[in-house]
Amino acid sequence: MIYIHWIVLVAYYVVAIIAMITVLMEHRQPAKTIAWVLILSFMPLVGIILFFFFGQRIRKDRYIWQKSLDQLTKRSMIEFVEQKNLELPEQHKELIQLFVNQNWALPFKNNETDIYTSGYEFFPALLHEISKAKDHIHITSYIIEDDPLGRLIRDALIEKAHQGIEIRFLYDDVGSWKMKENFFELMREEGIEVHPFMPVRFPAFTSKVNYRNHRKIIVIDGKIGFVGGMNLALRYVKGEKGEKWRDTHVKITGAAVYGLQRAFLVDWFYADRTLITNRKYYPDTAIKANNNLIQIVTSSPTNVWAELEQGYIKVLLSAKRYVYMETPYFLPTEPILFALRTAALSGVDVRLMVPFKMDSKLVQLASQSYLNQIIASGVKVLCYKNGFNHSKLLVSDDNVATIGSANIDFRSFENNFEANAFFYDKTMAERVKNIFFTDESQCIPLQNIKEINHNSFIYRLWESIVRLLSPLL
């Protein structure tokens, strides 16, 4: 019996050492590497299980996206070249070029935008546009729930399918894990193409569960697109657990919808293995010529570059007067932390808004030490108290803004598939700034909240331990 014990022990350490070497050889961020080494060293068996579920990378799948990306970029490139009198704003040429060089995220002018700051505004607008669809509807959602709102949207899509409209629906298999298959089977039976994104079936479960499609993209007829933070669930309207829900979504009408269309079709290719490049999915825009320049920027763990992370860093380090941000979760990577501190210490008015109560106590605890750190460098941290603020936005210097699905955390910047719209327009930037100011009126500075600012040794020790795990949360 003692021999079995030693065999199991040796086998465990062999596997653990192999896992550690794998982590080291992948040249991850030091904080993330150290976190995995500590877990594998001091959490027997549990560490190995966590590594197989959450520690493996999927960059080997890059060629799948690259194949579809190359083909779909050719189509959007044609539309890009056809733009007349395209002038890039001088102060943002470098940022725009950064996104172009990363994965051919092209800027498009001739757009109109509507911003929604609640589900009460967004979902009626969405249902209205669905009802007007003439050719196709494409939807990617991290979450859809079998609740009154989810069923309302499903029934609206079924009605359009009966009218002969092409409908493709992509949902994340982990984000929508509560959903029963019969919900989607009904959609399929009524003529809607439905696929889960990266389904987590054994044995592939362990290599995929950590990499999720967090995008919220809707494209209707190739002319109207939606992107932002809201999923298809009733809580985005009525809130949850007695808490109001605050979120931000944007409707884009015009040429920038080509970018949203491309993002959807790249993901669809991965899920369905069908490459769709037909010209009809990129129709001519009827929007009156204007300089409302928009760039749809996506990021994914399969890409070489951390697109959105690098974009946020560029904005922070280029800002002259201010940068205002909202995020529901704050677990910054080291480069983001460096950029925040650098901007604030340079005299830039940097304000970060987070919920007073996050929906995960562990994440909130891990965030606390980061928040205290940036406060020390001059960043103003604001806690939103009028419900749960799930909004993801940034605005800087009255000339650039972004709204999308990305949080300011490790998961969004490194593990998730995300999509943000970047706006290079003074009017749009001022609209986003005013939204921030409205939210700010519902906030209290973090340093003024006594129940958060604990000073006990035990609390600070626990906070520090949880911070070590923050790259894995």
Alpha helices in 273-409 (DSSP H): 307-318, 334-345, 361-376
In whole angstroms, give the CA distance from residue 146 to residue 157.
Answer: 14
- Give the residue numbers annotated as catalytic, written as ranges: 214, 216, 221, 390, 392, 397
CA-CA distance, 24 to 16, in Å (whole number)?
12
Query: How deeply is 258 buried, as exposed, middle or buried, from its count of CB atoms within 10 A (0-12, 13-18, 19+)?
Result: buried
One-letter amino acid of 352: L
Inter-residue contact 399 to 91 (CB < 8 Å)? yes
Amino acid at 137: I
**Alpha carbon distance, N-terminus to C-terminus of the chain:** 39
- Looking at the DSSP bridge assignments, the partners of residue 296 are 421
Distance CA 207, CA 204 (A): 6
| 420 within 8 A of 430, measured Cβ to Cβ | no
What 8-state DSSP symbol labels residue 231? Answer: -
Residue in the block written with tokens 């996104």? 99
How many helices (H) and strands (E) would you count in the chain? 17, 20
Helix, strand, or coil (residue 82): coil
Q: The sheet that has 443-445: what strands, in order across it?
A: 107-108, 293-299, 418-424, 400-404, 393-396, 322-326, 349-355, 380-384, 443-445
